[in-house]
Structure 1
């Protein structure tokens, strides 16, 4: 009969101790993990509850007309270009159109992108002429003859108007700066650029090779009228930004 050595006995004893301790360590690890997971869930729930409580109430919704496609300025709006969507009442802009029929047939004073709400400020008056329908409130349309070649200027460009006075002390002065071109008319009866309306340039009195219809303020209108009566006008094109 062979006896076991003391060292082997001690090794076996330590292995048994290790095997006995491992289950207790694993149980502690899993218990700690479960506690941390529970704490994380409680923290997340508390955060979501506070976020929901602090969010403003949406409230009732209202149907408003929005552009269903890009619509250029000067376009007579068709009902098929609009659609109704419901948005929270608190986000409805002032003057929003709630009935497509109230916008159909009216001319846009400013272009619309898809999804933009149609408002009264974007639409011309119900009964307005082809030029008046494009003039924003507070501005005027003023015709200025120019010798610029056809196609050099299109609606939306900005120009400066210079006046050269020949009597008395001849001099040149700036009359208006960076005013917007509303329309470009030619004496051959053609109209250049996208304005969305038809206009007979010859009937409008476009005797010069090109006639620019400019958007100006009332005080600019007076200066232009004086300069046109007593000076020679020149148009310079403002670079696009």
Structure 2
């Protein structure tokens, strides 16, 4: 083994055709590696730049730049409505809790896109609006999830509003519910005098 190594070392260090061939092969191999690296970099730079969550963020949180990160992902796995700039998400309210690495989409934030997604299958009628509902029985909070359909219950018990959608679940015992405008007004008025709660609804 030592003799072979010495012979190759001499072949490289001594002038001649053999050394030139070895040098050319080494340069060719280096150029191939550089070309492959360049192709990989070009392919990576062609991927779209999208926002992801940089850390766990709870539902109802107001997003800051520290919660967000811009990364490049293959176009095939970027969801529809993905946001691309920090300014699009900073200061917005997160509707449902997020984990690090998840892509930030418009439907994850409280706003028109989220409303459209929540009411996409609702029949035509009165416009929707959001109303905060302070719950008299916060024990139900762990059962509530973004998008869940609920009825708002007042004293009696009586149904104050039916068929609402949970937008966010706050940690202070208040939920944000999407309702038709007339029902939202009734809930807002009832919350001033009556203890309210919500129950999960199937319809």
- TM-score normalised according to structure 1 size: 0.41
Higher helix share: 2
- TM-score normalised according to structure 2 size: 0.47
Name which one, 1 or 2, has greater alpha-carbon Rg: 1
